[in-house]
Amino acid sequence: MKSTRWLTVAVILLLVVALVGCSTAATDGEVDPKDVTVDLASDPVVMKANEQGKLIVQTTGLSSDITPDIQIDIRKPDNKGLPEYVKTTSIGNGQYAAEYTFAAAGSYTIYLHVMQGELHITKKKKLDVQ
């Protein structure tokens, strides 16, 4: 008799876990990566070495239910050393920005990391600094 009760409780718990898991998967699955666009802009438009500017990431196609985490991965022109990761803050309308000062002129490789729930999109961009 006791084993039947425990079995019933175990089955009910499994059903609850399965239902919660399905509803979470449905929410995460709403965003199709091919519908997401990610672009990079700067303010000023032409960044200059040793002068602070703003890197702006423009996104479209993300879910409005979950706040995304947007990181900027900056690689030096000579591609030596470790990349520098810069966290952004939302400035509205799918835009995220970070203040940054480039130490030297050159052509930088920038990777934009967009993370939202199970989704992780990385876009490679180039940025010329004078």
Q: How confident is the model at residue 2 (pLDDT cuts 50, 70, 90)?
A: low
Q: Where are the domains of the chain?
A: 1-30, 33-129
Chain center to CA of 3: 48
CATH topology of domain 33-129: Immunoglobulin-like (2.60.40)
Q: How many CA atoms lie within 13 A of 54 on its CB side?
A: 12
- Please tell me whether the overall predicted TM-score, pTM, comes out greater than 0.95 for this model: no
Are 42 and 56 contacting, i.e. CB atoms less than 8 angstroms apart?
yes
Would you say 80 and 89 are in contact if contact means Cβ atoms under 8 Å apart? no
Among 29-33, 34-38, 59-63, 110-114, the least confident range:
29-33
Residue type, 55: L
Closest residue by Cα to residue 55 from 19, 101, 14, 97? 97
pLDDT at 92: 93
**Tens of pLDDT along 4-23?**
665 565 556 555 555 555 44
